[in-house]
Amino acid sequence: MSRRPAGPRAAPVVAALALAVLAVLAALVMAGGGAPLAVDTAVRNAVLEHRAGLGTAAKALTSTGTGAVPYLLAGLAGWLASRRALGVVAAEAVLGAGQLVRIGLRVAVDRPRPPADGWLSAAHAASFPSGHATTSALAGGLLAWALLRRYPGGPGRAAAGCAVLWAVGVALTRVVLGVHWASDLVGGWLLATGWLALTLPVLARLLERPALPVRPWRRNPRIG
């Protein structure tokens, strides 16, 4: 009797846990009127005290967590996972749909950002969950999944680790730049984890379907 891989069985559990914790965190934020949690204030104070000299690097790294870069990484992930246009489109759809969920949650929670006197970069819209943290985690997670799928050995694991480190680094820059609370990052990571746990098994099944055969063109003999 063949055994199913542990990944698909664990995915619903991971999704349920991540989204449950996200719901609790969002409820805490909303119950406090969007005010920072105790850990948010402590982390912000520590960062403001020790971030001297990090602004330029943080701005450079944070710029890769929005705009075209995450979508390019998602497209690369889809191509690596399948070597088919279908994979590219499907991976982009996972990222795009996750963005819509994030925006909906951001509007619902409507948390104010930290005080602007500590900002090193421009920011807009509400704070929870962090858009950069969510987007980079989705794109980095897709790329890590695709790398492990295509290259299951040591090099694949190393490359996947780099994708995850990039996503974590992008998220952390948002606190360094003073435009997010630490719990905003956690919210983004939880949302991305839950969303990927829900969608990656579906994406894997989709990409395992064989491509439709291409029939050779034949001239209709009735046409002169």
pLDDT value at 121 more than 80: yes
CB 132 within 8 A of CB 161: no
Q: Are the C-beta atoms of 207 and 87 separated by less than 8 Å?
A: yes
Nearest to 68 by CA among 59, 78, 58, 76: 76
Residue whose structure tokens are 């994406």 = 203
The structure tokens listed for 20 are: 């449950």
Tokens, residue 52 = 């001297």
Instruction: Please report, for residues 34, 53, 179, the alpha-carbon distance to residue 72 in angstroms, rounded to integers and kept in the order given.
Output: 33, 30, 25
* Arithmetic mean of pLDDT, 81-103: 95
Under 8 Å between Cβ of 180 and 127? yes
Question: 119 to each of 63, 114, 169, how far by Cα in Å?
Answer: 15, 8, 18
> Taking all residues of the chain, what is their mean pLDDT, rounded to a whole number?
91
Give me the pLDDT at residue 3, please: 40
pLDDT above 90 (res 215) = no
CA distance 87 to 217: 26
Q: What is the CB-side half-sphere exposure of residue 202 using CA atoms within 13 A?
A: 10
Q: In angstroms, rounded to a whole number, what is the distance separating the alpha carbons of residues 77 and 84? A: 11
Average pLDDT of the segment spanning 96-105? 97
1 pLDDT exceeds 50? no
Please name the residue that has the structure tokens 């619902």. Answer: 108
Q: What is the separation of C-alpha 53 from the centre of its chain, rounded to a whole number of angstroms? A: 28
Q: Which amino acid is at 4?
A: R
Q: By C-alpha distance, which of 186, 155, 202 is closest to 7?
A: 202
